[in-house]
Amino acid sequence: MAEDEVDRWVQSACVLCSNGCACDIAVKDGRMVGVRGRAGDRINHGRLGPKGLYASWQWSDQDRLTRPLVRQNGTLVEASWDAAMDRIVAESKRRQPLQHGFYTSGQLFLEEYYTLAVIGKAGLGTPHMDGNTRLCTATAAASLKETFGSDGQPGSYNDIEACDALFLFGHNMAATQTVLWSRVLDRIEGADTPAVVAVDPRMTAVAETAVRTGGVHLRPLPGTNQALMNGLIHELIAHDWIDRAWVDEHTLGYDDLAQTVEPYTPVKVAEICEVPAPDLRRAAEIFGTSERVLSTVLQGFYQSHQATAASCQVNNLHLLRGMIGKPGCGVLQMNGQPTAENTRECGADGDLPGFRNWANPDHIDELAQLWNVDRQVIPHWAPPTHAMQLWRYVEQGSIDFLWISATNPAVSLPALGRIREILGKQELFLVVQDGFFTETAAYADVVLPAALWGEKQGTFTNASRTVHLSEQAVAPPGEARSDLEIFLDYAERMDFRDRDGHRLIGWKTPEGAFDAWKECSRGRPCDYSGLTYDALRGESGIPWPCTADQPEGTDRLYADAVFPTDPAVCEDFGHDLTTGGSTTPEKYKAQQPGGKAFLKAADFRPPPETTSAEFPLIGTTGRSPYHFHTRTKTGRSPRLRRAEPRMWVELSEQDAAELQVAAGETVVVESARGRVEAECRVGTLRPGVLFLPFHFGYWDNADGPPTAANEVTITEWDPVSKQPLFKVAAVRVRKVKR
């Protein structure tokens, strides 16, 4: 369709990864018909990637859910909203708060998360609320809390243009955030190319770029990141590539860190990680001798063994060199899903809203006052329930009311055989709220049809704190309603009241929810108080903190090297990185952190699952640049379907030769949990490791062989962030004879 045929353009940003590229939606005759990038935006400067271009709207009128469904005599039948919501409320009312669990998403808008968080924390009073973001962004948040005292992305994307070395730790940026990667490519192909170091067991486009431009590609054995990181820090210290004066002034824990990394000589690390010692030395030298280093971290660290410990070591590298808060010197602890950042801020991931500390009574009082509820209602007596524990409680039956919104655990959680059994439990009352009839919806007692992107209004925040407004472009299909409307309807029917008998939730619109959130965030590190919908209707998105004094927002945190570690401010008192044991408030205060950052240390320990004679290979999972999550949207875009039509398994050349399989042949991958059958690709992975993309579930493949990568993954998680380990499953492979 030509540009002048479009009726109108509606401002938005893409929700198909955490980059949040600003765009306009083209509307013709009440339908979405295209998108264009917004040139004036600080994030994407007008660019869009394949998912944004080809999957942001094409799904919009394909097999959507248009009416609520309610299970009657074993089958789901269409029902009115009243009937569906009355059923939910009746089930909810006959249960205690602790029997309720909410499992949400990284795809909703800020206004929806905040409303859900208030329902859970001040209405019902249940600590059991988490989401799919536990699988994606939990370690980013945890490592920032451990090091800096609070969540909040330190760096800015503008550091890409200013750095002279770029380290990507377990981050295949070329597949995960294609537009961000094109910003990097601008630098690579430009005049003064930064040195690139990639840490990844696969030869990804990122790794190839590192090699091609004279950087380093480190390929540690999956599960050994912590040893590698200790080795890099060991080298920094051994060569005195550290800014000792800065470290003394702005950090705590140097001696313990130095002592912990002492044994991690390049030779020892080379042995544990199976990387050449000279490569490790060279990478450390680049970090130690460059002037402005930018590091990014993603799932290769977050979904692997010792996730939080290893991610904290990236922070440590920067602190040791005093490289934080200055142009070109930054850490980007990334996330995968588009609105994952907002679950962290609003507390729909179990944390408390506004990065408040559940172990700080003053923070609980602030929330009690804000919501005008008794502080005892707010679940703060123990750490919030993380997703894996939440599912365990459902398995044991102590949670028997589970409300899933905008995510698809029947494909995305580890060890799917177990998850299907849990979802199928007779005693469980299951609500699924989504735009499509997903694999998970098939298990529901009530299915609620939700409006999606472009069909509702709201804001969301990208991986570098930049907030965008997404306007409603078209009406939702049939009777579908926005997630916000659904949550508000539930709150209304449950009749949640504050201490004075007034409605607990006073807002009715997205903007009303946004205003309430602004108040909640005021004075906290994620301060939105200076933002308005109107301001967000300008040229570009705006990065928080944004206050009345600083209406243009904040590009980079910690320019003054004062970190939010003061006990009255911090979001968390921290943990032992090895066990996850919580530091007590007394112990935390005794360290007198007062604005200094923590250099947290941990020894390497072997991963929970290692290879054996029966399962001799390590299976690791990841993404395709052409699909998002479980393909509910991208799988309905013809172009992206053509680009990546079906499941595959990538084997190293050596392993493929040994197994006598050629590219295109079918293989079966098996672990102690399950099996996957798919076409084989031969790639340049490190031998002994195979790769499984995680997008391919069953909604368009009901009768085929098993294809979901999570059939084989394990039920294990990081002790601090509780993020599951998707990267280390012991597997075996065999060729399927046809």
Partner 1 sequence: MHVSTYLGLLRHAEGALADAFDQIGQGHGDEPDVVQLCELLAGKSRAHVEQLQAAVDRYGEDADNEPERLKAAEFGGARSGGVGLLRDLQDLYALGSFVDVTWTVIAQAAQGLRDPDLLQTASACQAETSQQLTWLNTRIKQAAPQALIVAP
Per the listing, tokens 């003064």 go with 192
CB of 716 to partner 1, least distance (A): 5
Q: Of the listed pieces 4-12, 175-183, 370-378, 394-402, which binds ligand SF4 according to CB under 6 A?
A: 175-183
Q: How far apart are CA 409 and CA 105, in angstroms?
A: 10
Per the listing, tokens 């199928």 go with 424
Residue 651 binds ligand SF4, judged by CB under 6 A? no
Q: Which residues of 209-223 are buried (b: 16+ CB within 10 A; e: fewer)?
A: bbeeeebbbbbbbbb
178 binds, among ligand SF4, partner 1, none (CB under 5 to 8 A by kind): ligand SF4
Binder of partner 1 out of 190, 397, 417, 424 (CB under 8 A) = 397
CB of 48 to ligand SF4, least distance (A): 4
CB of 68 to partner 1, least distance (A): 28
Q: Of the listed pieces 24-32, 170-178, 333-341, 578-586, which binds partner 1 according to CB under 8 A?
A: 578-586
The C-alpha R_g of the chain, in whole angstroms, comes to 24
Binder of ligand SF4 out of 10, 12, 16, 227 (CB under 6 A) = 16
Residue 206 binds ligand SF4, judged by CB under 6 A? no
Segment 653 to 712, residues that bind ligand SF4, using CB under 6 A: none
Q: In what order do the strands lie in the sheet with 293-297?
A: 216-218, 195-199, 165-169, 293-297, 330-333
Q: How far apart are CA 272 and CA 218, in angstroms?
A: 13
- Which residue type, as a one-letter code, is found at position 412? S
Q: Which is closer to partner 1, CB of 134 or CB of 556?
A: 134
Picking from 316, 169, 306, 142, the residue whose alpha carbon sits closest to that of residue 242 is 316
Residue 179 binds ligand SF4, judged by CB under 6 A? yes
CB of 714 to partner 1, least distance (A): 8
179 binds, among ligand SF4, partner 1, none (CB under 5 to 8 A by kind): ligand SF4
Binder of ligand SF4 out of 34, 52, 125, 223 (CB under 6 A) = 52
Residue 375 binds partner 1, judged by CB under 8 A? no
- Per DSSP, the residues of 329-389 read BEEEE--SSTTHHHHHHHTTTSSBGGGB-TT-HHHHHHHHHHHT--GGGS--SSPPPPHHH
Segment 21 to 40, residues that bind ligand SF4, using CB under 6 A: 21
Residue 502 binds partner 1, judged by CB under 8 A? no
Q: Of the listed pieces 16-24, 72-80, 269-277, 695-703, which binds ligand SF4 according to CB under 6 A?
A: 16-24
Q: How far apart are CA 197 and CA 310, in angstroms?
A: 16
Q: Which is closer to partner 1, CB of 40 or CB of 381?
A: 381
CB of 723 to ligand SF4, least distance (A): 21
Residue 704 binds partner 1, judged by CB under 8 A? no
Picking from 653, 670, 627, the residue whose alpha carbon sits closest to that of residue 417 is 670
Residue 580 binds partner 1, judged by CB under 8 A? yes
149: left (phi over 0), alpha (psi -120 to 50) or beta: left
Residues 6+ apart with CB under 8 A from 214: 195
Residue 48 binds ligand SF4, judged by CB under 6 A? yes
CB of 61 to ligand SF4, least distance (A): 20
Residues 6+ apart with CB under 8 A from 597: 147, 148, 149, 250, 251, 252, 315, 319, 324, 563, 565
Residue 6 contacts residue 21 (beta carbons within 8 Å):
no
373 binds, among partner 1, ligand SF4, none (CB under 5 to 8 A by kind): none
Q: Which is closer to ligand SF4, CB of 389 or CB of 462?
A: 462
Q: Of the listed pieces 214-222, 286-294, 393-401, 593-601, which binds partner 1 according to CB under 8 A?
A: 393-401
Q: Which is closer to ligand SF4, CB of 11 or CB of 611?
A: 11
582 binds, among ligand SF4, partner 1, none (CB under 5 to 8 A by kind): partner 1
The encoded tokens of residue 571 equal 């979001």
Residue 166 contacts residue 184 (beta carbons within 8 Å):
yes
Provide the β-strand partners of residue 123.
none
Q: How far apart are CA 441 and CA 69, in angstroms?
A: 10
Q: Which is closer to partner 1, CB of 41 or CB of 609?
A: 609
CB of 20 to ligand SF4, least distance (A): 5
Phi, psi of 731 (to 5 degrees): -135, 170
Q: How far apart are CA 431 and CA 447, in angstroms?
A: 6
CB of 25 to ligand SF4, least distance (A): 13
Q: How far apart are CA 430 and CA 452, in angstroms?
A: 21
Picking from 461, 343, 336, 480, the residue whose alpha carbon sits closest to that of residue 13 is 461
580 binds, among ligand SF4, partner 1, none (CB under 5 to 8 A by kind): partner 1
Residue 81 contacts residue 482 (beta carbons within 8 Å):
no
CB of 23 to ligand SF4, least distance (A): 7
Residue 51 binds ligand SF4, judged by CB under 6 A? yes
CB of 608 to partner 1, least distance (A): 6
CB of 98 to partner 1, least distance (A): 5
Q: Which is closer to partner 1, CB of 12 or CB of 412?
A: 412
Q: Which is closer to partner 1, CB of 392 or CB of 735?
A: 392
Q: Of the listed pieces 44-52, 194-202, 362-370, 699-707, which binds ligand SF4 according to CB under 6 A?
A: 44-52
Q: How far apart are CA 420 and CA 114, in angstroms?
A: 29
CB of 632 to ligand SF4, least distance (A): 14
Q: What share of the chain is helix, strand, coil (3-state, %, to 5)?
A: 35, 20, 45
Provide the β-strand partners of residue 297.
169, 333
The encoded tokens of residue 449 equal 């049809």
CB of 51 to ligand SF4, least distance (A): 4
* Binding track, positions 88-127, relative to partner 1; x by CB under 8 A: --------x-xx---------------------------x
How many CB atoms are closer than 10 A to CB 244? 11
The dihedral of CA 345, 351, 353, 359: what is its sign? negative
Q: How far apart are CA 671 and CA 180, in angstroms?
A: 35
608 binds, among partner 1, ligand SF4, none (CB under 5 to 8 A by kind): partner 1
715 binds, among partner 1, ligand SF4, none (CB under 5 to 8 A by kind): partner 1
Q: Which is closer to ligand SF4, CB of 49 or CB of 350?
A: 49
Q: Of the listed pieces 19-27, 266-274, 638-646, 719-727, which binds ligand SF4 according to CB under 6 A?
A: 19-27
Binder of partner 1 out of 8, 537, 605, 734 (CB under 8 A) = 605
Residue 253 contacts residue 599 (beta carbons within 8 Å):
yes
Residues 6+ apart with CB under 8 A from 702: none
CB of 554 to ligand SF4, least distance (A): 21
Per CB under 6 A, residues contacting ligand SF4 are 14, 16-17, 19-21, 44, 48-49, 51-52, 177-179
Per CB under 8 A, residues contacting partner 1 are 96, 98-99, 127, 381-383, 385, 388-389, 392-393, 395-399, 575-576, 578-584, 605, 608, 715-717, 719
